Structure formats: C-alpha cells, structure tokens
Amino acid sequence: MKITKTDQEWQELLAPDAYRVTRQHGTEPPFSGQYASFKEDGVYQCVCCGTPLFDSATKFDSETGWPSFYSPVSVSALEEKRDATHGMIRVEVLCAACDAHLGHLFTDGPPPTGLRYCINSVCLIFTPRNQES
C-alpha cells in the first residue's frame, strides 16, 4: 500500500531541500550532497518514508557528483518512470512506497548490472550496518 500525505504534511515532515527534490522533482547541485563521496557500510533509506533503497555494497564512485549505486536492495523498492523534461529522455527513479523522486537511472554503470542509479543525497538517510533494525 502506498504511503500518501498531503502536500502540507510533506512540507512539515521534510527539510526544505528534501521537499523540493523528493516532492517537486528537483535536484541538488553535483558534489554538494553529504553522500556523494561517503564510504561507510550500511543501508540508505528513503528520507520520506524510511524504506530501505540501496546497500552501501552496491555504491560506487561515478565521478558525477551524486551518490551512485549499481542496484537497489530489491527490485520492488523502486519504481521507474519515463522523464522527458529538460530536453532529454531519461528514466526517473522513485521510491515505490511513497513516490518520492530520488534521481535517475542510466545504463553506464559498472558490472555486474551495468546500471547507475544516480541519486540525490538529500533523498537518503544512511543507517550504519551495526544499527539496522
């Protein structure tokens, strides 16, 4: 079942940058996010609903300025949607539980998947492996 809230509820729950990116399909400037070069061991969750999205074992340095992962924690964690904004066609990545905009998916990632989930840091909450519930 989808997690739904009113626009007002999302604004009260999220920091302004997180609201702008996750609910208004924005982006953060490259190399500005706290997880762009972060290397700790654990799980990245959705800032809006806490759903586990990515494991640090799949994170890699794409040199793009955003956290990049080659696969999600599960195929059901994310939804993909065609995005034809900004004069290009891309694949938007959304949290399957709450429809939060997370970033975009590209096909220039490393093995074993060849995928690059390019995700905004502000969309994520990191939980160290030894603190997972």
**Which are the catalytic amino acids?**
118
Contacts of 6 (CB under 8 A, 6+ apart): none
Helix (H, G, I), strand (E, B) or coil at 86: helix
Q: Considering only CA atoms, which of 29, 65, 61, 22 is closest in space to residue 45? A: 22
DSSP-assigned states of every residue in 5-56: --HHHHHHHS-HHHHHHHHH---PPTT-STTSS---SEEEEETTT--EEEEG
Distance from C-alpha of 108 to C-alpha of 46, rounded to nearest angstrom: 24
